[in-house]
Amino acid sequence: MQQVNLSEDIYFLGFNDRRTHLFENIWPIPHGISYNSYLIVDEKIALVDTVERSFIDEYLDEIEGIIGDRAIDYLIINHMEPDHSGALKSIIQKYPDIKLVGNKKTFGFVESFYLTPKNVVEVYDDYRIDLGKHKLQFQMIPMVHWPETMVTYEETSKIVFSGDAFGSYGTLDGGIFDDEINLDFYEVEVMRYFTNIVGKYCPHTQRAIKKLAPLDIKMIAATHGPIWRSDLDWVLTRYNKWSSYDLDCGVVIVYGSMYGNTQRMAEVIARQLAVRGIKNIRVYDASKTHSSYIINDIFKYKGFIVGSPAYNNSLFPNVEILLSTIEHMAPKDHYLGVFGNYSWNGGGVKNLKLFAEKIKWEMVYDPIEEMGALKTDKKAELVKLANAMADKLLVEN
Ligand code: FEO
């Protein structure tokens, strides 16, 4: 690729992964993902994070193409997840005198994943490294996304190397900087990266946003997705909204349904919500849409209604997977409704009630359970559930 510079001496070293189907072997990435690393060339040379291991050869070639036979002085390890540390051993092999820069949590991960680190610089909040013209400053942002996560701020160019924070799924298809791209493409993918990867750690994300606020930031260079240099507010505003559970008026309805009876119950609820004036209604079949996408809408809308048939005396498995994902991420401040269906013993709604107890969202109406096909009395109950949800949402809007 042609050389891409963030400033005169700061280089982008990014690689597009269009082969991997599932990020972390869980989350669908139909539009791929980029792994971004950065090289600062000065009296001393610093490499900021590395890339996923399948790109090691090209990565080493690109570095050599920029610095020739000079050695790299520092490897800044903002985040140890292997999508960014995958080339760490190769870098150490090629540049044996390199100093690993991390915090007290970083080097334990280096040891457990790769090797015993020998040449290390342990940094902490406000610690500085002078490269010459460029001065690096470090800020710890634990749990965005792992315990060791930190950001590196380069004071001269005012660039923050932010790790996963403000990153995105989706490859960089030619455009690298936000002003080179139609950001409509990234609207879903930035949010999915946030909800899927960092969404469990919203309070930590809020702390990180507040911690970085005093810095004079001209550019945000994350380890995935576009580099933000023209419209930083585009991503900052969104991160702030999502991580503070600032939810819009709307309802996500998710159901599992083998033969259509639970789906019919969902359709009744959805229609009545619309009749009551709720404009944002998203209905998902849990067997068709991956939780990666559904969780995005749960981070957008305040209402959540879930339906499950009984399946082997328990939840429908695909609904169970989604609910387990929600429990892990534990987004706050939703209104909840549950419904379901059974043929003999039940087990769907019984377990939805257990979910409701664990997640502690406000139940807007008693659980509704039908046996077999939907009948008039339960249909009327579903309308009441929709009305109760609409009442809660409309009073706030
Ligand atoms: Fe992109 Fe948490 O790694």
> Which DSSP state fits 224?
S
Rounded to the nearest whole angstrom, what is the distance from the C-alpha of residue 81 to the centroid of ligand 1? 5
Q: Is the dihedral of CA 387, 392, 393, 397 positive or negative?
A: positive
79: Cβ below 6 Å to ligand 1?
yes
CB 391 within 8 A of CB 362: no
CA dist., res. 161 & res. 152, Å (int): 5
Amino acid at 147: P
223: Cβ below 6 Å to ligand 1?
yes
pTM over 0.85? The answer is yes
Of 227, 278, 234, which is closest to residue 252 (Cα–Cα)?
Answer: 278
> By alpha-carbon position, which residue is closest to atom 3 of ligand 1?
81
CA dist., res. 200 & res. 216, Å (int): 28
> Which DSSP state fits 30?
T
The CB density around residue 164, as the number of other CB atoms within 10 Å, is 22
**Residue 282, beta-bridge partner list:** 252
Rounded to the nearest whole angstrom, what is the distance from the C-alpha of residue 246 to the centroid of ligand 1? 24
Q: Which residues of the chain have pLDDT under 70?
A: none
Atom of ligand 1 nearest to the CA of 145: 2
Retrieve residue 32's tokens: 């791929």
In terms of phi and psi (left: phi > 0; alpha: psi -120 to 50; beta: otherwise), the region of 68 is left
Quickly list H helices, the chain. 56-67, 82-85, 88-94, 106-113, 184-193, 202-212, 232-243, 261-275, 291-298, 317-329, 348-359, 376-395
CA dist., res. 305 & res. 67, Å (int): 56
Domains in the chain, ordered, with CATH? Answer: 4-243 (3.60.15.10), 248-391 (3.40.50.360)
Retrieve residue 150's tokens: 């930190």
Q: What is the pLDDT of residue 397?
A: 74
The CB density around residue 19, as the number of other CB atoms within 10 Å, is 8
The DSSP line for 330-388 is ---S-EEEEEEEESSS--HHHHHHHHHHHH-PEE-S--EEEESS--HHHHHHHHHHHHH
**Residue 301, beta-bridge partner list:** 248
Q: What is the pLDDT of residue 212?
A: 96
Q: What is the pLDDT of residue 2?
A: 86
